[in-house]
Amino acid sequence: MGKKLKNSGLIGVGVVAGIAISLQFSAMAQKPVDPPLPLAELRQLADVFGLIKSDYVEPVEDKKLLTEAISGMVASLDPHSAYLDKKAYAELREGSQGKFVGLGIEIGQSEDGYIKIVAPIEDSPAWRAGIKPGDLISRLDNVQVKGMSLDDSIKKMRGEPNSKVSLTILRKGEPEPLTFNMTREEIHQKSVKGKLIEPGYAWLRISQFQEPTVDDMAAKIIELYQQDPNIKGLVLDLRNDPGGVLQGAIGVAAAFLPKDAPIVSTNGQLPDQKQIFYGRPEYYELRAESDALAKLPAALKKVPMVVLVNTGSASASEIVAGALQDYKRADIIGTQTFGKGSVQTIRQLTADTAVKLTTARYYTPNGRSIQAKGITPDLVVDENADGDGLNALRTREADLSKHLSNDREAEGEKSKRDELEEQVRILALEKNRKPLEYGSGEDFQLQQALNHLKGLPVQLAKPATTVVSTDTGLPKDLAKK
């Protein structure tokens, strides 16, 4: 079983774009096809192919038509199934390893249509060049980014090692745009950060679950306990964590739970999708010769804990939060998570192409399905003292067209991002707000988590109120204020 698991990786990526996914690498399924092929429909497909070849205004390559047909067929199933061409497949594999060739910056879309710098990765080309959080990219190689999708801008910043790229930056306080000429190089992302917030209280952040995450987390925890052997409260920060390698999620949860505890289960049509994953080394270690959790201090199993989550917490991070919540090992603080509870299996087609296909749902130890619902915090706390900021406008799984249904519970409510008045209000409030640095003294949710660990009052989010419009007599939901 352990060897079989090590030949696969469940991955969640894409929080910047607002969508999280889970993946499992596998060989082509050997399940027999019971029903006969739909010959009439296949003939119709061939007829359309022939019409395009003979009648379309200009010649079209056979490969393009067939590739697009495959892509459209798979994409029609749900938001997370897709055909992966050579480039997409390579990028997916790079992401699971925590490395890629680029500039080393975390980015997001700004309300002005530019690309906003969330943070440069330490010791990356962007970090050494002086790129700062809050900077706005207006041009890439002198091409305007307004109107460019986030995915397209990422592709333009990625490239071959030692190749050049130019960024035009708009920086608050600078009268003129700044130009940075940088050289792409291989970036190694560190998914684990941690520090002592104050004597006795530690903060551990996991930004994504990658292959090295369990080892990196164990090393950071040992370091924190060396600094303070009497830690009496720990905050596990999973905000904006889009997911990652399943082994990473199992290992992180196992570090805090009883030995061999069930962490997550999956259920689908294929026998290998009906599994229970336990907190044992064979389920979380990618290197057979070591157990990263073996040297962790025994006190870690009982230290009081809070897990911080938000709308950007998805997939593998929801597995961890759900497991710790089911075992009542930690209190969950923050806002409703994304709700990504399905597994996508990678079926390799050629040496460099594959199909990503939804094959199962996953469940918490108590059998809860997270799909299109998410994890509900024990204590709902907004990102800021005056509201949840842009999180209130973010897309969740339940908002996605053709999303897979939750087979066990009622689905989560759809977000209110389409309510124009509320959107304008939030954008105006956030326009001049300083970008939040997780773990800083200005981190409101972290401060509330520390208050909870100390037994102090916690400022909870104000519930939404419903009023009646005097113009129409119809109810109108107003967001938290």
Q: Strand pairing partners for 369?
A: 363
Is position 81 annotated as part of the catalytic site? no
Tokens standing for residue 145: 């980014």
Q: Strand pairing partners for 115?
A: 109, 137
Which 3-state string (H, E, C) describes 279-314?
Answer: CCHHHHCCCCCCCCCCCCCHHHHCCCEEEEECCCCC
Tokens standing for residue 55: 């009648």
Task: Quote the CA–CA distance of 4 and 25 in Å, as a whole number.
Answer: 11
Question: Which is catalytic among the residues 272, 326, 352, 378?
Answer: 326
Looking at residue 36, its amino acid is P
Question: Which is catalytic among the residues 220, 340, 356, 373?
Answer: 340
Largest CA distance in the chain: 77
Residue with token string 């709308």: 311
Count CB-CB contacts under 10 A for residue 108.
16
Residues 6+ apart with CB under 8 A from 268: 274, 343, 359, 360, 361
Task: Quote the CA–CA distance of 235 and 449 in Å, as a whole number.
Answer: 7
Task: Quote the CA–CA distance of 144 and 137 in Å, as a whole number.
Answer: 9
Task: Quote the CA–CA distance of 75 and 402 in Å, as a whole number.
Answer: 10
Count CB-CB contacts under 10 A for residue 227.
13
Instruction: Tell me if 404 sits within 8 A of 372, measured CB to CB.
Output: yes
Task: Quote the CA–CA distance of 317 and 333 in Å, as a whole number.
Answer: 14
Count CB-CB contacts under 10 A for residue 36.
6
Question: Which is catalytic among the residues 138, 315, 342, 369?
Answer: 315
- What's the half-sphere exposure (Cβ side, CA atoms, 13 Å) at 5? 22
Q: What is the DSSP letter of 165?
A: E
Cα 441 from chain centre = 25
Tokens standing for residue 222: 């040992």
Which of 362, 365, 305 lies closest to 339 in space, CA to CA? Answer: 362
SS3 (DSSP) at 377: coil
Count CB-CB contacts under 10 A for residue 148.
19
What stretch of H or E contains 117?
Answer: strand 115-120
Q: What's phi and psi for 73, nearest 5 deg?
A: -65, -45
- What's the half-sphere exposure (Cβ side, CA atoms, 13 Å) at 291? 11
Catalytically active residues are 315, 326, 340
